[in-house]
Chain A
Amino acid sequence: MDTLNGQSKICVNNVTKCFSSKQGEVTALKDLSLDIMDGEFLVVVGASGCGKTTLINMIAGFDSPSSGEILLDGKPVTGITPECGMIFQQYALFPWKTVQENVEFGLKMKRIPKSERKTIAAKFIDLVALNGFEKSYPHHLSGGMKQRVSIARALANDPEVMLLDEPFAALDAMTRQVLQEQLVRIYEKHKKTIIFITHSIDEALLLSSRIAVMTARPGSIAQEIVNDLPHPRNADVQLSDNYMALKRKIWDSVQAEVLKSMEVETG
């Protein structure tokens, strides 16, 4: 795991998370440990309901572990952490704000003057190729455009870590591919630490520098796989033996967990 400078950005130490609901107690995560290096692009894959969202929500500080701890730069996460910019599957754009106002939101919260906000927002709107839509309201945009606004909004706030929870799951295949390529370019240019959740093994292979496979619920890490496929991960790479071998390896691991989770559900 010594991909970059070998320094842990985020440490998840023996985290357990229980939810109590009307149906009783649910253990979503059990003794999950995971280290994320500075500058790493970690993709987390796992069966539905294994606790991926729970994990990422705790890293963002929306929720706290039942036991264990999460460290960001060595300090425990105790509340909502703007250093971890979150990108939601449902975009979570403010419908009453224009594209530009949405992108400026984090800067406004930092009380940065208007003119400066505008310059920074313009830069990130440009980065996600949404020039000309600055004055549009979100409901006039397509899903892919909304997610680009959401990415620009997170980036404008200059977080050290970006957390993406199945950000492209609701998009069509073509749009998804465009956004994946954009995200890789942003990652290479801006040197963020990224945690990305997905159901798609192909997406994991295209984007990641490392892949963590989660077990069925209660979730923990089943396997960690370094992805050293060369960039750009074009059609040639995707047809290479190396790609196929990695895919098989992840597939086997995920499938075993999916089967396990189905056994649990059917009794």
Chain B
Amino acid sequence: MDKENHSSKPIIISIISLTLFLVIWEIVCRAGLIDPVFMPAPSKIFARAVKLIGNGELMAHTLASTRRVMVGFMISSMVAIPFGIFLGSSRLFMSICDPFISLLRPLPSMSWIPLSLLWLGITETQKYSIVFMGSFAPSLLYIIEATKSIDPLLIRAARNLGASKLDVMREVILPGALPQIISGLKVMLGIAWTCIISAELVAAREGLGFMIMNGKEYFQTDTVMLGMVMISITVMVIDVVFKKFERRLLPWTR
């Protein structure tokens, strides 16, 4: 982290390249070289942003999607972490659950959308379930892998100091696997966003995916692109928050 702070040059170069890109894009659009329905100018997207921020729509959509991702992802992680640690430390339970995990894992979250709509309708629960189904099996696999990476000597040492098998899971396997679990969950959070946007694109009444799809219906390309930009920004912000949280959780890796 020190090295990054020492020189600000790369950041300045990045800002310049981004600005340059936007300026060229703006010029090309203003010169009338591209049909605005095909590709609106950045200034038009910005104007749309100002408008939608003003009437509160943009915030509402962003919050709706973020809430869905967070609830679905939290539930999925809260189930996957203990379950994964348990599976990773018990061969018997692993063999019992292995066929189900293997069957669930290759299913893209998209493929759950029709079934979830039949079961739950266009509801919030349906959105959470899509995030859950899309991220649970891969999270579980990440966590099982993470538990297997623990040095068996540490488990021996703990047992030798009087730890029961349950103590070992809580005191050794969980904290030992935590760095890997967290980096796995970071990837899963990205996947959770993919899940929710696709669910919203198919059927929703609010959310960034809905906003994009709705913009498309009215040929508002600027709304569509604004929605996409908003997804990027939100995921980036959440990533930063997640990193802060990660450092809190892993004081010993500093």
Contact = CB atoms under 8 A, between A and B. Distances in A.
A192 to B, nearest CB: 15
Contact of B162 (A60, A106, A137, A139): A106
Contact of B161 (A95, A96, A139, A153): A153
A108 B162 CA distance: 9
A216 to B, nearest CB: 26
A76 B154 CA distance: 25
B100 interface: no
Contacts of B154: 92, 94
Contact of B157 (A81, A86, A96): A86
A86 B167 CA distance: 18
B117 interface: no
A137 B252 contact: yes
Contacts of B158: 94, 105, 109
Contacts of B176: 94-96
Given A96-B252, A139-B252, A110 B156 contact: no
Contacts of B252: 95-97, 137, 139
A82 B167 CA distance: 14
A88 interface: yes
Contacts of B161: 82, 85, 105-106, 109, 153-154, 157
Nearest to A62: B156
B162 A82 contact: yes
B153 interface: yes
Contacts, number: 65
A194 interface: no
A60 B251 CA distance: 32
A86 B175 CA distance: 22
B81 to A, nearest CB: 16
Contact of B178 (A62, A96, A110): A96
B175 A84 contact: no
A110 B160 contact: no
Interface string A42-71: 000000000000000000101000000000
Interface string A99-111: 0000001101110
B156 A92 contact: yes
Given A95-B252, A96-B176, A60 B160 contact: yes
Contacts of B171: 94, 105, 108-109
A80 B156 CA distance: 9
Contacts of B157: 86, 88, 92-94
A137 B254 CA distance: 10
B178 A157 contact: no
Contacts of A82: 160-162
A156 to B, nearest CB: 9
Nearest to A138: B252
A109 B165 CA distance: 11
Given A90-B153, A96-B175, A137-B252, A109 B160 contact: no
Nearest to B249: A96
Contacts of A94: 154, 157-158, 171-172, 175-176
A96 B180 CA distance: 13
A139 B158 CA distance: 18
Contacts of A86: 156-157, 160
Nearest to A79: B159
Contacts of B172: 94
Nearest to A90: B153
Most buried by B among A80, A139, A157: A80
B151 to A, nearest CB: 8
A149 B65 CA distance: 49
A60 to B, nearest CB: 6
17 contacts: A62-B160, A82-B161, A84-B160, A88-B156, A94-B157, A94-B172, A95-B176, A96-B175, A97-B175, A105-B158, A105-B171, A106-B161, A106-B162, A108-B171, A109-B164, A137-B252, A157-B161
Closest 6 CB pairs of A and B: A106-B161, A92-B157, A82-B162, A109-B162, A96-B175, A137-B252
Interface of B: 151, 153-154, 156-164, 167, 171-172, 175-176, 178, 250-252
